[in-house]
């Protein structure tokens, strides 16, 4: 089935200069993620690096160099924050509190401008955003449920 013609471009949009560079995806196991993208789909590893308890990597499609998929593998952000709060002295805990406060302020600012952004996007834009974010949320929920089932029933994954 051929793809339909692309809708007309809108160079007057304030978002017209936006270009996709990379997308990030979270996995509990780095080697499983690397194996899937590289061994199964023939993607290429551009760079791998550690970041705290996480392992990060950029992988590129087989025949494209201007788009990257960032793989994040390791414990979750909440777990990392809890573990980080237990390590270090007073200065370390103060730095953690400052980071949490900055994230809180950023969320407050985003919530304050949400109405204006919603008005700018219009009903169609909001419907598109709702569907995309709903799909992402469903994928996260399925991944979480699958991880829990793997823990409960190790025989399902061959352990």
Task: Find out if CATH 2.40.280.10 is the number for domain 20-74.
Answer: no
The C-alpha R_g of the chain, in whole angstroms, comes to 20
pLDDT (tens digit per residue) in 76-106: 655 666 666 666 677 777 877 888 889 899 9
In the chain, the largest separation of any two C-alpha atoms, in whole Å, equals: 62
pLDDT (tens digit per residue) in 36-71: 889 888 999 999 988 877 888 999 889 888 888 888
pTM for the structure as a whole = 0.43
pLDDT (tens digit per residue) in 112-145: 998 899 999 999 999 999 999 999 999 988 888 8
Task: Return the bridge partners of 54, or none.
Answer: 51
The domain limits of the chain are 20-74, 81-148
User: Position of tokens 């690096």?
Assistant: 49
């Amino acid at each position: 089935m051929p793809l339909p013609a692309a809708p007309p471009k809108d160079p007057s949009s304030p978002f017209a200069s936006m270009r996709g560079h990379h997308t990030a995806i979270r996995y509990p196991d780095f080697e499983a993620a690397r194996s899937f993208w590289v061994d199964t789909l023939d993607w290429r590893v551009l760079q791998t690096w550690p970041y705290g308890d996480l392992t990060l990597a950029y992988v590129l499609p087989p025949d494209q160099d201007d788009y990257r998929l960032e793989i994040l593998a390791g414990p979750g952000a909440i777990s990392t924050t809890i573990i980080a709060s237990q390590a270090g002295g007073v200065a370390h805990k103060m730095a953690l509190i400052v980071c949490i406060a900055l994230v809180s302020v950023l969320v407050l600012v985003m919530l304050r401008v949400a109405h204006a952004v919603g008005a700018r996007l219009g009903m169609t834009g909001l419907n598109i955003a709702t569907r995309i974010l709903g799909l992402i949320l469903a994928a996260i929920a399925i991944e979480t449920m699958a991880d829990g089932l793997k823990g409960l029933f190790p025989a399902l994954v061959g352990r």
